[in-house]
């Protein structure tokens, strides 16, 4: 057997960290003792460190092998570190060679970090909301770090090309096909079908399920609770298996594989005394009396200011009485809204934050938004536009703050001036309308 060639600069991550540590200690020693020997040794270590870094990362800019990627995940590890107990089951991945597309459910913002802990044969790239890749500093970091971006819920051909290039260069790519966080812990419908594209890539499709992430940090709660997170590779479809199914069959299979209900089996206990905090920004309507925007999450209780009804959350995040779970409650709101959908007419005055195209400057303006069964409309002193609902498959939103969409490549954040809880209602209405359109088509 050939002996591996001895490297002049051994550049494993451990050695680079050890070198950096040594350099800092020697520098401190030189400063404290004010003598020449530790100073020379420190200079030598720094030179060795710089050379190691250079050889370790040369030619890797713009890929997940780059120094920037390592730096991003170094920061992420400091930030999220060991906050959660994460268990990984990636046995099915051990037989997969080469690049793949990894598809996962999406319950919390931190999902990318949990997925990074799988034993990937190479660092994966992530497909993220373009918002994170166009701001100053973040833009440079994402580009150099090999992070891929997409304009949410818009047709964006260049994204496909960039994913293809990443895969051809041998890197796995992580995609959350729902394109947004789950509101109630149940998977969102997948509004942008990817089967035809995945089949063209001719690489394995790897399905991952993340358990426990939703209640650790649902989109409606600011605080993170410790939780048992389990990341499992549940299924691998090889390219030859992808050939045997049609696009429609594969899209159905993807939706089925990724379907998840966080309330169905809650493994962790949540002893916190403020489990309902923020829940009213998603559960914006009382199912007992039907009134809008009068619910409030206080301690572990969801109360209605209008009818006085309360629902208590237990340590498994279940209600103590009917409708028993958060998704069941949300479903009842969904049914109420569906019944009134024909006469839907929403309007709000907004403060609008517009992110210039391709990282251009941010500007603010005052305006008004409308939504009915035909279209979304916006008008301000500067401009007005209308988006027919067929071109708006979903509306991303941030609970209690804003809803957002792209128009002419510019991301618009609409902050209602009154009743900020209504953003959840706008998003749900757009979902219901999409559901109704799809029902007609099928
Ligand atoms: Zn009520």
Taking residues 365-390, what's their average pLDDT? 96
Q: Are 101 and 125 in contact (CB under 8 A)?
A: no
What are 125-162's pLDDT values in tens digits?
999 988 777 777 888 888 899 999 888 888 778 899 99
Among candidate residues 105, 121, 114, the one with its CA nearest the CA of residue 231: 114
pTM of the model: 0.89
Among candidate residues 341, 306, 338, 302, the one with its CA nearest the CA of residue 321: 302
What are 151-160's pLDDT values in tens digits?
888 877 889 9
- At residue 310, the 3 state secondary structure works out as strand
Q: What distance in angstroms lies between residue 131's CA and the mean position of ligand 1's atoms?
A: 37
Q: What distance in angstroms lies between residue 376's CA and the mean position of ligand 1's atoms?
A: 29
The per-residue DSSP string of 94-132 comes to: GG--S--EEEE---STTHHHHHHTS--SSPPEEEEETHH
CA dihedral over 176, 178, 180, 184, signed as positive or negative:
negative
Q: What distance in angstroms lies between residue 289's CA and the mean position of ligand 1's atoms?
A: 4
Lowest mean pLDDT across 192-196, 230-234, 356-360: 356-360
What are 242-293's pLDDT values in tens digits?
999 999 999 999 999 999 999 998 889 999 999 999 999 999 999 999 999 9
- At residue 294, the 3 state secondary structure works out as coil
Cα 297 to Cα 276: distance, rounded to the nearest angstrom: 5
Q: What distance in angstroms lies between residue 30's CA and the mean position of ligand 1's atoms?
A: 69
pLDDT of 16 > 90? The answer is: no
- At residue 377, the 3 state secondary structure works out as strand
Q: What distance in angstroms lies between residue 219's CA and the mean position of ligand 1's atoms?
A: 23
- In DSSP terms, which residues pair with 86 in a beta bridge? 229
Q: Are 229 and 295 in contact (CB under 8 A)?
A: no
**Considering the domain 341-441 in this protein, what is its CATH number?**
2.30.29.30
**Considering the domain 67-258 in this protein, what is its CATH number?**
3.40.1130.10
Q: Are 405 and 396 in contact (CB under 8 A)?
A: yes
Cα 269 to Cα 318: distance, rounded to the nearest angstrom: 11
Q: What distance in angstroms lies between residue 293's CA and the mean position of ligand 1's atoms?
A: 10
For the chain, the first-to-last Cα distance in angstroms comes to 61
What are 108-119's pLDDT values in tens digits?
999 999 999 999
Q: What distance in angstroms lies between residue 287's CA and the mean position of ligand 1's atoms?
A: 7
Looking at every residue in the chain, the average pLDDT score rounds to 91
Cα 413 to Cα 406: distance, rounded to the nearest angstrom: 9
Taking residues 74-82, what's their average pLDDT? 89
Taking residues 317-337, what's their average pLDDT? 97
What are 301-319's pLDDT values in tens digits?
999 999 999 999 999 999 9
Among candidate residues 187, 189, 126, the one with its CA nearest the CA of residue 159: 126
User: Which range, 26-30, 78-82, 293-297, 434-438, has the best average confidence (pLDDT)?
Assistant: 293-297
Q: What distance in angstroms lies between residue 278's CA and the mean position of ligand 1's atoms?
A: 17
């Amino acid at each position: 057997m050939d002996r591996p060639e001895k490297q002049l600069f051994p550049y494993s991550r451990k050695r680079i960290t050890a070198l950096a540590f040594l350099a800092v200690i020697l520098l401190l020693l030189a400063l404290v003792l004010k003598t020449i020997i530790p100073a020379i040794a420190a200079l030598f270590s720094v030179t060795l460190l710089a050379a190691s870094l250079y050889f370790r990362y040369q030619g890797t800019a713009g890929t997940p092998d780059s120094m920037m990627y390592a730096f991003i995940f170094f920061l992420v590890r400091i930030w999220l570190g060991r906050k959660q107990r994460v268990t990984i089951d990636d046995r099915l991945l051990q037989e997969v060679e080469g690049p793949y597309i990894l598809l996962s459910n999406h319950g919390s913002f931190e999902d990318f970090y949990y997925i990074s802990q799988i034993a990937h044969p190479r660092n994966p790239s992530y497909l993220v909301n373009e918002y994170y890749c166009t701001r100053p500093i973040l833009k440079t970091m994402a580009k150099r770090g090999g992070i891929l971006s997409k304009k949410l819920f818009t047709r964006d051909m260049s994204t496909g090309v960039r994913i293809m290039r990443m895969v051809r260069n041998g890197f796995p790519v992580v995609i959350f096909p729902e394109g947004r966080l789950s509101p109630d812990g149940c998977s969102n419908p997948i509004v942008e079908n990817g089967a035809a594209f995945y089949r063209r890539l001719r690489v394995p499709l790897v399905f991952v399920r993340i358990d426990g992430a939703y209640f650790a940090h649902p989109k409606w709660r600011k605080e993170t609770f410790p939780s048992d997170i389990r990341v499992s590779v549940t299924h691998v479809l090889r390219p030859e298996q992808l050939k045997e199914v049609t696009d429609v069959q594969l899209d159905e299979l993807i939706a089925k594989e990724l379907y998840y209900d966080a309330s169905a089996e809650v493994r962790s206990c949540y002893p916190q005394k403020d489990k309902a905090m923020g829940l009213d920004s998603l559960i914006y309507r009382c199912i007992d009396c039907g009134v809008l925007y009068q619910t409030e999450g206080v301690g572990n209780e969801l109360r209605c200011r209008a009818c006085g009804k309360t629902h208590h959350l237990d340590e498994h995040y279940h209600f103590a009485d009917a409708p028993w779970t958060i998704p069941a409650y949300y479903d009842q709101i969904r049914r109420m809204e569906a019944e009134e959908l024909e006469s839907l007419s929403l309007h709000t005055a907004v403060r609008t934050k517009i992110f210039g195209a391709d990282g251009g400057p941010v500007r603010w303006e005052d305006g008004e938004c409308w939504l009915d069964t035909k279209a979304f409309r916006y008008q301000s002193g500067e401009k007005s536009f209308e988006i027919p609902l067929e071109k708006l498959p979903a509306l991303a939103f941030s609970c209690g703050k804003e809803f957002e969409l792209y128009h002419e490549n510019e991301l618009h954040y609409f902050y209602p001036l009154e009743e900020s809880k209504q953003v959840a209602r706008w998003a749900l209405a757009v979902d219901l309308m999409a559901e109704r359109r799809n029902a007609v088509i099928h």
